């Protein structure tokens, strides 16, 4: 099923993890995908995973753009390049993010600023730059927030604050631009099998402790998150906006008590 046939889709952080899985899923469903990331080589690796049987749409249906989304001028240039290539934009997936561990007593000002710049400011810059084009197409935004943006974690002050900002920005954009015909939603994953998650899952049984609280008993895969993203972007979700959807195996269903 080609739910996104010929629709231009921008995916930030498309070089790995959730972004890569999402870009591939959109390509499999017929989209024209703009791959955005900081490293050209990883974007090229993602593009190699696209299905090769879609010449019935276009022979040149993807575009890779290197861009640091925390730099507003680079974001504007990226959007201009995407429009020059595909003329319009139907869907934006704000996926690029950065993990950051530490209590506020451990974090430097540079650490804090870096977490906010990539996770929150980058989401703002890209959404702001693309919004006029989404209004024209009655398109949608899907932000990749986090379960950490819906509640606190130990030792994750900067990341929690940044993702909480993304969570509430999602709601506000939905309110402000629903009358324009633009839907804005977020997925809020918990621990997912990505390189970023692995970097903060140390050797003191953190994964085992997480799985003990997860009703489904496993970590999410990037493909699990991509499935939720593409659902929210599709016409099947035409009446859904302002939602922050936990994709967490049921972790957020618990009030934190241990199993008796």
Q: Is the pLDDT of residue 106 over 70?
A: yes
Domain count for the chain, please give it: 1
**Residue 196 is assigned to a structural domain of this protein:** yes
Which residue's entry shows tokens 């989404």? 134
pLDDT of residue 55: 47
159 part of the active site: yes
Q: How far is CA 74 from the centre of its chain?
A: 19
State pLDDT tens for residues 44-75: 999 999 987 644 445 578 999 999 999 999 99
Question: CATH no. for residue 113?
Answer: 3.40.50.720
What percentage of the chain carries pLDDT values higher than 70? 92
With 0-12 CB in 10 A as exposed, 13-18 as middle and 19+ as buried, what is 259?
exposed
Considering the domain boundaries, does residue 231 fall inside one? Answer: yes
The reply to whether the predicted model has a pTM over 0.85 is: yes
Q: How far from the centroid of its chain's Cα atoms is residue 50's Cα?
A: 19
For residue 40, is it within any domain?
yes
Supply the pLDDT for residue 22: 98
Give the CA angle between residues 187, 193, 194 to the nearest 5°. 85
pLDDT of residue 61: 85
What burial letters (b/e) apply to 90-113, b meaning 16+ CB within 10 Å?
A: bbbbbbbbbbbbbeeeebeeebbe
Lowest mean pLDDT: which of 131-135, 193-197, 200-204? 200-204
Of the candidates 86, 60, 64, which has an alpha carbon nearest to the alpha carbon of residue 20?
Answer: 64
Q: Establish if 160 belongs to a structural domain.
A: yes
Instruction: Catalytic residue, from 4, 26, 125, 159: name it.
Output: 159
Of 13-27, 79-93, 187-201, 215-229, the one with minimum mean pLDDT is 187-201
Residue 46's domain spans which residues?
8-240
Instruction: Tell which wins on pLDDT, 208 or 105.
Output: 105
Determine the 3-state secondary structure of 189 from DSSP. strand
Residue 196 Cα distances to 91, 189, 255, angstroms = 24, 13, 26
**pLDDT at residue 84 above 90?**
yes
Mean per-residue pLDDT over the chain, rounded: 92
- Say if 174 falls within a structural domain: yes
Q: Is residue 249 part of a domain?
A: no
pLDDT band (50, 70, 90) for residue 197: low
Torsion of CA 128, 133, 136, 137, to 10 degrees: -110
* Cα Dmax for the chain: 59
What local confidence, expressed as pLDDT, does residue 212 receive? 85
Residue 40 CB neighbour total at 10 angstroms? 13
116-129 exposure pattern, b = at least 16 Cβ within 10 A, e = fewer: bbbbbbbbbbbbeb
Q: What would the pLDDT profile of 180-191 be if each residue is shown by its tens digit?
A: 999 999 999 999
Q: What is the CA radius of gyration of the chain?
A: 18
Residue 1 lies in a domain: no
Find out whether 109 and 204 touch, Cβ atoms under 8 Å.
no
Residues 6+ apart with CB under 8 A from 41: none
Instruction: Please report which confidence band the pLDDT of residue 95 belongs to, taking 50, 70 and 90 as the band edges.
Output: very high
**250 occurs within a structural domain:** no
**Does residue 231 have a pLDDT over 70?**
yes
With 60 as the cut, is the pLDDT of residue 147 above it? yes
Residue 42 confidence (pLDDT) above 80: yes
């Amino acid at each position: 099923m080609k739910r996104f046939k010929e629709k231009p889709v921008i995916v930030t952080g498309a070089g790995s993890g959730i972004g890569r899985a999402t870009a591939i899923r959109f390509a499999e469903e017929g989209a024209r995908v703009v791959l955005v990331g900081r490293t050209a080589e990883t974007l090229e690796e993602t593009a190699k995973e696209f299905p090769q049987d879609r010449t019935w749409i276009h022979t040149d249906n993807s575009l890779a753009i290197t861009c640091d989304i925390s730099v507003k001028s680079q974001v504007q240039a990226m959007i201009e390049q995407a429009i020059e290539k595909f003329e319009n934009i139907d869907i934006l997936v704000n996926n690029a993010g950065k993990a950051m561990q530490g209590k506020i007593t451990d974090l430097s000002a540079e650490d804090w600023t870096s977490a906010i710049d990539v996770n929150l400011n980058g989401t703002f810059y890209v959404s702001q730059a693309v919004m006029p084009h989404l209004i024209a197409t009655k398109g949608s935004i899907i932000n990749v927030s986090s379960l950490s943006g819906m509640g606190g974690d130990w030792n994750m002050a900067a990341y929690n604050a940044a993702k909480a900002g993304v969570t509430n920005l999602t709601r506000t954009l939905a309110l402000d631009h629903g009358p324009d015909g633009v839907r804005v939603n977020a997925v809020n994953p918990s621990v997912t099998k990505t390189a970023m998650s692995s970097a903060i899952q140390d050797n003191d049984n953190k994964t085992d402790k997480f799985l003990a609280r997860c009703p489904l008993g496993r970590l999410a895969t990037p493909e699990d998150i991509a499935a939720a993203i593409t659902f929210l972007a599709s016409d099947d979700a035409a009446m859904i906006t302002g939602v922050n959807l936990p994709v967490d195996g049921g972790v957020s269903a618990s009030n934190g008590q241990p199993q008796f």
